[in-house]
């Protein structure tokens, strides 16, 4: 029985484990994609050779009032400020002066952004040149009713965007827990939508019947048949955006692709590029998954670190065991997330979620449900143990301690000699793919 050592990041340190090689199915880890070195040129080329529509220069005309939709301060990872100047330059060269361009920050139900945050989103130069507005999801006068989707979602959209002659969506594409992927249509729904529109759409992530919990058709990387994503697309279609420019970033936060063109076609092409970056062909699901989010800063708190949970679940057998390595020095941050673990059972938690759906609440509910469906052991700081127990997980101080607990569970399941293990060193940026 040959033992092999596996090293995984947790916070700013490493934890190691030695496992019999014959029990390890696979180390599931993403590959590398070449980085973009000239962001401006890549953006211009994407806009001039778009996907699914004409070049931007042929879609806008002198006299058009153009709304640029950008992500808020919570999405600065997409580095809008690095490619947006090229978009504005292309508009200027197409006969659209700065005076006819304005920016709407797609806040969804998030708070307004202050001036310093707006500078971080746009860059100093564009912030000084262009009018900038925050979307208001709650203002009755701020949004216009455009109709109803096939799933009954009332479509209220930002009045400024509706009244613009042309709307251009920007942002970034990555995987999303229940919408399949972010980016694209999410700039409109929830980005520019009224609160009733957002609430109705997001509730589609749960089953129709109370007590059913998470809708199993709404999950990471799924687009076709994902009613949340499909409803988002219907909402977006009411606005009829003129064009889209989205970035795709690697795990280090560097550009690997700019996609541009039709708001759906270009975005969809971008999702396929994300899968080239994050998707890994997996051999088989295992009894145990040992996974790290990648260490600091991805595991600075539970809200960030749990992004590795859905990929781990995809690589795990029913009734499996997940060992998550999360340092979480700020485990109680943000309070709006951790306060959601105040319930003693799934049904009470679900009813409250349905009454006041928020993304942090949904993520907390997902984690809590996962801890009931699987055995979830979290390797973390001892001072976090009480907090971990509140989430339904089992705390452990070291990977060795977690493995001892897992072995006891495997023995109880009759798998002491037959167990299998998948290892995921960068779970946040890895998606297991099965044929």
Average pLDDT per 10 consecutive residues for the chain, totaling 435 residues = 93 97 95 90 98 98 98 87 97 98 95 92 96 95 98 98 98 95 97 97 97 95 97 98 96 92 98 94 98 93 94 97 97 92 94 94 95 97 97 97 98 97 95 91
Parse the chain into domains and list their residue ranges: 3-28+282-433, 39-277
Whole-number pLDDT of residue 75:
81
Buried b (16+ CB within 10 A) or exposed e, 43-63: bbebbeebbebebbeebbeee
Whole-number pLDDT of residue 357:
93
User: Does the predicted TM-score (pTM) go above 0.85?
Assistant: yes
Whole-number pLDDT of residue 77:
83
Helix, strand, coil percent values for the chain (each to nearest 5): 40, 25, 35
φ and ψ at 171, to 5 degrees? 150, -155
Whole-number pLDDT of residue 27:
97
Residue 46's closest CA among 236, 251, 270? 270
What is the CATH code of the structural domain delimited by 3-28+282-433? 3.90.226.30
Tell me the C-alpha distance between 213 and 256, whole Å: 36
Whole-number pLDDT of residue 76:
81
Which CATH superfamily is 39-277 part of? LarA, N-terminal domain (3.40.50.11440)
Whole-number pLDDT of residue 252:
83
Whole-number pLDDT of residue 421:
98
Whole-number pLDDT of residue 74:
80
Whole-number pLDDT of residue 30:
79
* Mean pLDDT of the residues in the chain: 96
Instruction: Using alpha carbons, list the distances in angstroms from residue 348 to 85, 186, 341.
Output: 48, 29, 11
Render pLDDT for 254-303 as a digit per residue (tens, 0 to 9). 999 999 999 999 999 999 999 999 999 999 999 999 999 999 989 999 99
Residue ranges of alpha helices (H) inside 210-249 are 227-239
- The secondary structure of residue 393, as a DSSP letter, is P
Render pLDDT for 100-155 as a digit per residue (tens, 0 to 9). 999 999 999 988 989 999 999 999 999 999 999 999 999 989 999 999 999 999 99
Peptide bond preceding 190 in cis form (omega within 30 of 0):
yes
């Amino acid at each position: 029985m040959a033992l092999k050592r596996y090293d995984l990041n947790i916070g700013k340190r490493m934890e190691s484990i030695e496992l019999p090689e014959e029990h390890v199915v696979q180390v599931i880890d993403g590959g590398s994609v070449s980085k973009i070195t000239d962001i401006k040129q890549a953006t211009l080329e994407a806009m001039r050779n778009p996907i699914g529509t004409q070049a931007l220069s042929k879609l806008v005309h002198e006299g058009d009032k153009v709304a640029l939709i950008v992500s808020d301060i919570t999405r600065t990872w997409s580095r809008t400020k690095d490619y947006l100047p090229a978009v504005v330059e292309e508009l200027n060269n197409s006969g659209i002066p700065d005076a006819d361009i304005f920016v709407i920050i797609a806040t969804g139900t998030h708070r307004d952004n202050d001036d310093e945050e707006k500078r971080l989103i746009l860059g100093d130069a564009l912030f000084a040149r262009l009018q900038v507005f925050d979307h208001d999801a709650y203002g009755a006068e701020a949004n216009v009713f455009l109709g109803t989707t096939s799933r009954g979602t009332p479509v209220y959209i930002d009045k400024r965007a509706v009244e613009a002659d042309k709307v251009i969506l920007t942002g970034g594409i990555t995987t999303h827990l229940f919408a399949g992927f972010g980016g694209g249509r999410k700039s409109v729904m929830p980005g520019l939508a009224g609160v009733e529109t957002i609430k109705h759409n997001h509730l589609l992530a749960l089953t129709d019947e109370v007590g059913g919990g998470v809708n199993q058709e709404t999950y990471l990387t799924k687009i076709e048949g994902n009613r949340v994503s499909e409803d988002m697309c219907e909402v977006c279609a009411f606005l009829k955006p003129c064009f889209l420019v989205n970035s795709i970033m690697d795990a280090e936060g560097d550009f690997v692709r700019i996609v541009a063109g039709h708001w759906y076609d270009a975005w969809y092409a971008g999702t396929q590029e994300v899968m080239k970056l994050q998707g890994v062909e997996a051999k088989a699901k295992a009894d145990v998954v040992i996974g790290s989010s990648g260490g600091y800063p991805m595991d600075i708190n539970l809200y960030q670190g749990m992004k590795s949970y859905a990929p781990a679940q995809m690589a795990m057998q029913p009734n499996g065991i997940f060992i998550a390595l999360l340092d979480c020095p700020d485990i109680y941050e943000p309070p709006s997330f951790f306060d959601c673990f105040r319930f003693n059972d799934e049904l009470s938690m679900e009813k409250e979620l349905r009454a006041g759906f928020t993304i942090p609440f949904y993520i907390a509910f997902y984690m809590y449900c996962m801890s009931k469906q699987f055995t979830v052991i979290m390797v973390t700081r001892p001072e976090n143990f009480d907090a971990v127990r509140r989430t339904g997980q089992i705390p452990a101080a070291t990977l060795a301690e977690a493995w001892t607990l897992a072995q006891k569970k495997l023995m109880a399941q009759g798998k002491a000699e037959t167990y299998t293990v998948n290892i995921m060193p960068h779970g946040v940026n890895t998606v297991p793919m099965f044929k």
